[in-house]
Amino acid sequence: MALRAEVVTIRVVLPAHLRTLAGVKGEVALDVPAGQGDPPASGAAVTLRGALDALEARYPVLRGTMRDFGTGRRRAFVRFFACQQDLSHEPPDTPLPQPVQAGAEPLLVIGAMAGG
């Protein structure tokens, strides 16, 4: 079945250092093509990978800051939260929670508490 060509607007909250780097204030309203991922997530859902890809496409300076260049792995001290859940350890093609996809709740990019 062909996927619908759909764009969803989600809300993303970046940590302060990444807001400064990207030159944004407050939340980012981000258009994300649904059905991202390889293979595409079922049901034309927005995935974490799709959201981060769209974020990096809009703000190229963020490349390498959340995910390593090359491997694409999440950096050790970066976490992804939404709806009181830690999504950091989910497979990147897992659909984001429905309230995030609906724009009701933001996707939070977190600089982990570390360093004592």
- What are the angstrom distances between the C-alpha of 68 and each of 31, 88, 105? 23, 14, 26
Least distance (Å) between residue 95 CB and another protein:
26
Return the number of the residue (75 or 98) whose C-beta is nearest another protein. Answer: 75
Return the number of the residue (1 or 71) whose C-beta is nearest another protein. Answer: 71
- What are the angstrom distances between the C-alpha of 11 and each of 55, 96, 115? 11, 12, 29
Least distance (Å) between residue 88 CB and another protein:
13
Close Cβ partners of 41 (under 8 Å, ≥ 6 residues apart) = 35, 47, 50, 93, 94, 95
Return the number of the residue (23 or 39) whose C-beta is nearest another protein. Answer: 23
Residues found near another protein in the complex (CB under 8 A): 15-18, 21, 61, 63-66, 68-70, 75-78, 111-112, 114-115
Return the number of the residue (13 or 21) whose C-beta is nearest another protein. Answer: 21
Least distance (Å) between residue 63 CB and another protein:
7
Can you say whether the dihedral through the CA atoms of 63, 57, 18, 75 is positive or negative? negative
